[in-house]
Amino acid sequence: MTTAPTGTNQSTTLAVEPEPGRRKLSTAKAMQEAISQRMARDESVFVMGEDVGPYGGIFSSTTGLIDRFGPERVIDTPISETAFIGLGIGAAVEGMRPVVELMFADFFGVCMDQIYNHMAKIHFESGGNVKVPMVLMTATGGGYSDGAQHSQCLWGTFAHLPGMKVVVPSNPYDAKGLMAAAIDSDDPVVFMFHKGIMGLGWMAKNNRAIGAVPEEEYVVPIGKARVAREGTDVTIVTLSLSVHHSLDVAEKLEAEGISVEVIDLRSLVPLDRDAIVRSVTKTGRLIVVDEDYQSFGLSGEVIAVVAEHDASLLTSVSRVCVPDVPIPYARELESIVLPTPARIEATVREAVAR
Amino acid sequence: MTLSTTPELTEESRRSLLNTMVLIRTYEEAIRREYYADKMPAFDIGAGLVPGEMHLSAGQEPVAAGICAHLTADDALTATHRPHHVAIAKGVALRPMTAEIFGREDGFGHGRGGHMHLFDPSNHFSCSGIIAEGLPPALGQAFAFKRQGNNRVTVAVTGEGAANQGAFHESLNLAALWNLPVIFVVEDNDWGISVPRSESTSVTSNAVRAAAYGMPGVRVEDNSVEAVYAAGGEAVARARSGGGPTLIEVHTLRLWGHFEGDAEGYRPELKSVPDHDPLPRYRDELLQAGGLSAEQFQAMQDRAVEQVEDAIQFAKASPAPNPSEHLNYVFSEGVNS
Amino acid sequence: MTDVRFPQMTAAQGATGILVTWFVDSGDEVTPTTLIAEVAMDKVDAEVYPETSGTISLLVEEGAEVPQGSVIAQVN
């Protein structure tokens, strides 16, 4: 049940609420807990995907669920994304609440028709008479040398196509809350989690991949960004793992008197345009840090939001993205194309110097 | 497990099958008339009361009537870009269906979907314009029915051209693997737009492919509504009793073009196509057998015209969708919590 | 003072594993249901919970190789 803890401020500027408490989880465990809590109270929620059963999901999104709920509700599929994602759609149409995993977002190529032409369009085409209350969760992101076909973010592509909500948590607290909100939603929600924020033992992890998470059930509303760090000199609008890198840079530059505000978008569809505009109105300098490809995507959209609102707000605009190149395998090359702390820092310095 | 016997065909049930076919044909002829009414003399696909593509199912009535005779409103059916015959046979109401084809506010989708995207939740009927992609969601409906412990089934209609699309193969495998109550109905009308089956398909019958995926497969060769009825009855009974999926391929007839406006220059047998029209053939069978009189047939036709013209008038009288509401229905209103 | 030990995950003598992730910091209050660490041995993961309540002190670094059974933290 969505809970508003007693005495908590319900303002739209959205402090982290409910209070996280002291108990810490990794992002992966937070996702597992959200799914588990929803499955416990609603028989119609089930999980389906490749290796989600005993393996627990390749990136630990479903560890422990099959032990608790059994193979009838945590289901391993054949390598048939079109078939099982479509199956999820049909089950959702008939009143179930599937949580379907697309192992890597990069694999959308083999099943995109079911996603964007069916899952995302059925509600509209039916004039609102048919709902598809489904979650499509998928792993994104690079930085561990998995190469061009296994390192992409691609949220810009999903966000671009009407009819599906897109959420991209950056931390354990938001991951649990957004997963719960996604399962609750009567709309199809694409839940995109960066492998680098999961807190996996076998991949280099940022220390914010482990964080305080309330034990109770709660939701983080879809469509609301969060001010991850307040500042006055420059706005970084970002998401996912790049939030952590941006915060690291902001902490470092604080010592030099550069005040960086970091906006964690959390959702792309709906996009919290007000939060973006509010921040840039304050700072006048906009940097978008986005691990997706630079051109024709999220970073351009964020800049357009501000420019359409009032282009005169902007004294400087820049973006730190993956350039328009497939992500290279060699570490020396991959580390150049990713939006690293070094690139972010250089961009901030350059922006405030103008 | 024991399959319940397919009900024997009585004279009344035969007339009922014919009636469904008559209603479908009357409907398709009327839509065709309306479609062309304001697009000529020079065909402009975007003009008129029913703009866009139009894929009519004349000649394929036996598939719809024979299969849907075994279904109730609670069973599900997913159809293709050529959906009208199975929609009608499934029991979809003609007025909102026609209004949707005309793009009107009182259509099933409030004009958002059009003829290839008809959704009637009360009949668990839907269709899609992407070849073969209606099969995976049908699996999901079957999965839900099985999970809910009822004996409802899902029919997934597709074409012989679609049987070469990846979604077809994935769906057959998964349906058999998970023993889902789904019936795959392949309408082999010989032509994937302009490409004949012999130039697209490595096997002569998709019933063979069914066996490869571990499910029973049957091919009905002669577009006979009673043969479809028999095969359909067995398949539906199998699915209802937990026996899993079946594939039925029907060698049917696309009486007209792939789409309206298709000159069909690629079709060498074009002149002889009307000779194989299944509707007069079945009518004559029943007349000869004595289970149908000329008066009864006339009454069927008159009744069909009445129903169809009523639906068309309803559609024409329905308002166009309000342009200021063009952003409606992308997402639902509420959140379930 | 209660010792928290790296779990016995194999019958082999002298086996070592990795302290993969700490979920608490030294000085945190813990109870028997507080997840304090995730460890790994031979690609098998295990979660570690203290058996008592109190204030925890961490004795090994994240990423350290640790003999199974050895003390990794203490709870006062």
Instruction: Kindly state the tokens that stand for A234.
Output: 């420059």
Contacts of A215 in chain C (CB under 8 A): none
**Would A290 be classed as within a structural domain?**
yes
Q: What is the CATH number of the domain that holds A171?
A: 3.40.50.970
pLDDT higher than threshold 60 for residue A64: yes
From B101, B49, B57, select the one nearest B79 (Cα to Cα). B57
Q: Tell me which chain C residue has its CA closest to the CA of residue A198.
A: C21
Give the residue numbers spanning the domain of C56. 2-75
**Mean pLDDT across A96-121:** 98
**Mean pLDDT across A150-166:** 98
Q: Does B130 touch chain A (CB under 8 A)?
A: yes
Output the pLDDT for position A4.
36
The strand pair at A189-194 and A165-167 is best described as: parallel
Find out if CATH 3.40.50.300 is the number for domain B11-36+47-318: no
pLDDT higher than threshold 80 for residue A119: yes
pLDDT in tens, B253-299: 999 999 999 999 999 999 999 999 999 999 999 999 999 999 999 99
Contacts of C29 in chain A (CB under 8 A): 22
Q: Do A149 and A82 belong to one domain?
A: yes
Q: Do A207 and A240 belong to one domain?
A: no
**Mean pLDDT across A175-180:** 98
Give the Cα separation of B159 and A30 in Å (integer): 45
From C29, C19, C21, C39, select the one nearest C75 (Cα to Cα). C29
DSSP, collapsed to helix, strand or coil, labels residue B92 as coil
DSSP B253: -
pLDDT higher than threshold 50 for residue B2: no
Give how many domains chain A has, as a whole number: 2
Strands (E), chain A: 24-26, 45-49, 74-76, 97-104, 135-140, 165-167, 189-194, 210-212, 226-229, 234-238, 260-264, 267-269, 285-293, 316-322
Contacts of A26 in chain C (CB under 8 A): 21, 23, 38
Helix (H) or strand (E) holding B279: helix B278-289
**Would A304 be classed as within a structural domain?**
yes
Q: Do A111 and A179 belong to one domain?
A: yes
Annotation marks residue A150 as catalytic: yes
Q: Do A266 and A181 belong to one domain?
A: no
From A108, A68, A72, select the one nearest B143 (Cα to Cα). A72
Interface of A with B in 58-77 (CB under 8 A): 77
**Would A19 be classed as within a structural domain?**
no
pLDDT higher than threshold 70 for residue B335: no
**Mean pLDDT across C31-35:** 92
Output the pLDDT for position A17.
75
Q: Which of B112, B143, B213 is most worth mutating to test chain A (most A CB atoms within 10 A of its CB)?
A: B143
Q: Residue B108: which pLDDT band, with cuts at 50, 70 and 90? A: very high
Q: What DSSP string describes B118-175?
A: -EEGGGTEEE-SSTTTTHHHHHHHHHHHHHHT----EEEEEETTGGGSHHHHHHHHHH
Give the Cα separation of B146 and B179 in Å (integer): 9
Peptide bond into B323 cis (omega under 30): no
Q: Tell me which chain A residue has its CA closest to the CA of residue C34.
A: A23
**Mean pLDDT across B134-155:** 97
Give the Cα separation of A228 and C44 in Å (integer): 35
Give the Cα separation of A190 and A116 in Å (integer): 11
Is B133–A133 a contact, with Cβ atoms under 8 angstroms apart?
no
DSSP, collapsed to helix, strand or coil, labels residue B188 as strand
- Chain A to chain C Cβ contacts (< 8 Å): 25
Q: What DSSP string describes A58-92?
A: TTSSSTTHHHHH-TTTEEE--S-HHHHHHHHHHHH
Q: Does A295 touch chain B (CB under 8 A)?
A: no
Q: What is the CATH number of the domain that holds A250?
A: 3.40.50.920
Give domain limits for chain B: 11-36+47-318
Output the pLDDT for position A215.
92
pLDDT in tens, A268-318: 999 999 999 999 999 999 999 999 999 999 999 999 999 999 999 999 999
3-state helix/strand/coil string of chain C: CEEEECCCCCCCCCCEEEEEEECCCCCCEECCCCCCEEEEECCEEEEECCCCCEEEEECCCCCCEEECCCEEEEEC
Q: Does B198 touch chain A (CB under 8 A)?
A: no
Q: What DSSP string describes B285-335?
A: HHHHHTS--HHHHHHHHHHHHHHHHHHHHHHHHSPPPPGGGTTTTSS-S-B
DSSP, collapsed to helix, strand or coil, labels residue B45 as coil
Give how many domains chain C has, as a whole number: 1
Give the residue numbers spanning the domain of A170. 24-212
Is the ipTM beyond the 0.90 threshold?
yes
Output the pLDDT for position B3.
46
pLDDT higher than threshold 90 for residue B213: yes
Output the pLDDT for position B5.
56
- Its sign, for the CA torsion B219, B224, B228, B231, is negative
Q: Tell me which chain B residue has its CA closest to the CA of residue A120.
A: B330
Order the strands of the B119-120 sheet from edge to edge: B119-120, B125-127, B76-79, B154-159, B182-188, B246-251, B217-220
The number of residues in chain C equals 76
Output the pLDDT for position A25.
96
**Would A235 be classed as within a structural domain?**
yes
Residues 6 or more apart in contact with residue B67 via CB below 8 angstroms: B86, B89, B155, B157, B183, B185, B228, B229, B232, B236, B248
Residue holding tokens 């349906």?
Answer: B175
Q: Do A249 and A115 belong to one domain?
A: no
Q: What is the CATH number of the domain that holds C49?
A: 2.40.50.100
Instruction: Kindly state the tokens that stand for B128.
Output: 């899609």
